[in-house]
Copies of this chain bind each other. A is one copy, B any other.
Amino acid sequence: MKTPVAIIGASGYSGEELVRILLSHPGVELTAVTSRQYTGQPLGQVFRKFANHPQARNLKFTDADPAALAKAARIVFLALPHGVAAEHAKPLLNNGCRVIDLSADFRLRDPAVYKEFYAHDHPAPELLKDAVYGLPEVYRDRIKSARLVASPGCYPTSILLPIMPLLKGRLIKATGIIADSLSGVSGAGRKAEMDFLFVECNESVRPYGIPKHRHLSEIEQEFSLAAGEEVIIQFSPHLIPINRGILSTLYVAPEQHFGSEAQRKELAEKITACYQAAYGNEPFVRMLEGAALPDTKNVAGTNIIEIAWRLDPRTGRLVVMSAEDNLVKGASGQAVQSMNLMCGLAETEGLLG
């Protein structure tokens, strides 16, 4: 029998992407979608692209009544702004649902850090101890039994996956890490703001949120856990005129010098082995070989993250690059990957299409 699932806040870009994936997912049935704005309207009318999908025929947007949702669904996805998400999580958990939250509300272990970065008190600090950071490649086992998954942000995913194995393997220093990231405009959400009008984004590229973007907090938390020491990083997000995709270029310093060709070769082999051990069997991590470098167009619409790296003997640095779809591996696909784990399904179920 298919597991019934629901989405709260299904009208934003992440919510819409969840709908797309879940409608075609063979292991679950999407039984409810909510949106304050569209309550009462058929899903296929609001998002015409789903109108012909057989599963979408009977779905109407409802309001987010936790008791009703708890009856309709075993797992509930929250695709809501931070602050709001936590408020919905509480009654759903109390009603016995398992919750996968795509907001930042449960990603940070320390409510003080939350307050520093999000500028308000944490709305449900008592739940933090139950939350599992939903990065399956790192926390697979804990996700399986979690009742509350904090699905990672789009930038953090693109930065954590390429670097965490190197940090854990002590191949790189925990200091001096720089993450320079480029995001498509869907990352800004479906909001009617001048800055995100077509004319303002097309033929434009710009940094923003420098030097202290909110996503820093969860990146540093996970890096610190991986390194076993406090890690402070430089993070520079930029907006580029594509719909979907994040490209991160990451600058790190290997622990080992590699001035000679022999040292370089030895280090390269260690890095290769490190990634092979971490990701050799991961279905959604694509380590690039040869001359290939990541490109968002090769991952758009998929749950894949592409990773490549180059040692630079001139500077003594290692440059790691990654590409992902910010709405799939950076949001909704990854959330479904966690759901698959929670339901005991194949991790790739519904995510290979």
Contacts and interface: CB of A to CB of B under 8 A. Distances in A.
Interface of A: 13, 24, 48-49, 51-54, 178, 180, 182, 184-186, 190-194, 196-208, 210-212, 232-234, 236, 238, 240-245, 247, 249, 251, 283-284, 286, 288, 292-302, 304, 306, 310-312, 314-315, 317, 319, 321, 323, 352-353
B198 A286 contact: no
A248 B105 CA distance: 33
Contacts of A24: 352-353
B314 A206 contact: no
A54 B352 contact: yes
B249 A204 contact: no
A52 B281 CA distance: 11
Contact of A206 (B294, B312, B319): B294
Contact of A240 (B241, B244, B302): B241
11 contacts: A178-B251, A180-B180, A185-B197, A186-B199, A198-B200, A203-B245, A204-B242, A204-B297, A211-B319, A236-B319, A240-B241
B315 A203 contact: no
A85 to B, nearest CB: 22
Given A206-B296, A211-B314, A352-B54, A238 B233 contact: no
Contacts of A240: 182, 205, 240-241
Given A238-B247, A353-B24, A197 B197 contact: yes
A182 B242 CA distance: 14
Given A52-B283, A292-B48, A317 B234 contact: yes
Contacts of A233: 315
B247 A206 contact: yes
Nearest to A289: B45
Contacts of A49: 297-299, 302, 304
Given A201-B198, A232-B315, A241-B241, A310 B53 contact: no
Nearest to A204: B297
Contacts of A304: 49, 52
Given A54-B352, A234-B319, 6 more contacts: A203-B297, A203-B300, A206-B293, A210-B321, A232-B315, A234-B312
